[in-house]
Structures are given as structure tokens and as C-alpha cells.
Amino acid sequence: MTDEAKRLFFALDCPPAQRKAIAQWRADLGLRTGKPVPADNFHLTLLFLGAVPLAQINEVCEAAGQVRTPGEPLKIALDRLQVWHRAGVLSLAPEQAPPALLRLVYALEQAMLPFGFEEPSREFRPHLTLARDYRAPEPESATPPEFFLRAERFALFESHKGRYRILQDWSLI
């Protein structure tokens, strides 16, 4: 990564109170493997862009501002704990992704096509990452995950040295 580019992605932010509740639930799992994601970094990625030249960021933001949004807040159940063994990820995910979320992701993908970013190599799987480098079976939980991510905005995030920062956000309503 050079000083002429930023590592960017679109995501739904996780509200502070919910971050705290999810972090406490994760702590109760008693994980003995993996690297816990800092609660301040909890989010649900919509589209990863990768290295975006600084000169393109304003255009990316303009294109994102033209994306057709659901017209109402998104409510996503994070009700399934899962392990992605290949990627070494422990995450919370919805049992069923809301159609409005899938339409938003598709609209973002289409809006970003003119910029020539790499197309996603896999089907979109909404999730909130709890731990990376996780190399164990799915942990047992005394309490099943029953979180609801309610989003009124989507945002363009910068990833820099393990921290995420919102560069700009847009209303879903």
C-alpha cells in the first residue's frame, strides 16, 4: 500500500451499545484460539474495494451517493455463530439475509464496476467477524446469539493499521 491509495470497503457500522453486548457475549464463549477483533471494529461488510487511489475516492463517493437504497432502515438478525475454517474466521451471521440487504450490495457492486475494482470472487455472505486466525470447532454457547443489527446508514470505511475509520456515510432511508 502506498501513500497514494487507501484500503477501502463499504459496510454497515455496528452501534456502540451493540458492540459492547456482542463483545460481552463473545467473552462468555471463553475462546482459547484466534485473535479477537476489537469491538470498535465490529461491522458488516457490504463490498470490499481494496486499494483505491486517492484521486478516485471522491468519484467513488459520488457513485455511492447515487446507489438506490431500501428507503427504510435495514434490520439484520445476527443469529448464527459460524466458523469459516479455510479463512480462519469466527463470525456471527444471519440465518437468512434480508432481500433489501442483498439488493443494496448488488447496487453497490454495479456502481463500482466503472472503477475496475476486482469483482468479488465469492457470493456475498453477510457476517460480523468476531475473531481471525480461528482454528477450532464452533464454540458452545450457553446463550444463543440473538442480535439485530439495525442500520440507517451505510458507510465507506478506511482500513489502516488494524483500525477502521468512516470516510463518508449515506442514508438508507
The count of other CB atoms within 10 Å of the CB of residue 57 is 18
Burial class (CB in 10 A: 0-12, 13-18, 19+), 113: exposed
Residue 88 grid cell: 480462519
Residue 85 catalytic?
no
User: Which residue is catalytic, options 6, 19, 26, 43?
Assistant: 43
User: Which residue is catalytic, options 6, 19, 26, 127?
Assistant: 127
* Euclidean distance between CA atoms 99 and 86, whole angstroms: 27
8-state DSSP, 119: P
Q: Which residue is associated with the grid cell 467513488?
A: 60
Q: Which residue is associated with the grid cell 462468555?
A: 28
Residue 43 catalytic?
yes
Catalytic residues: 43, 127
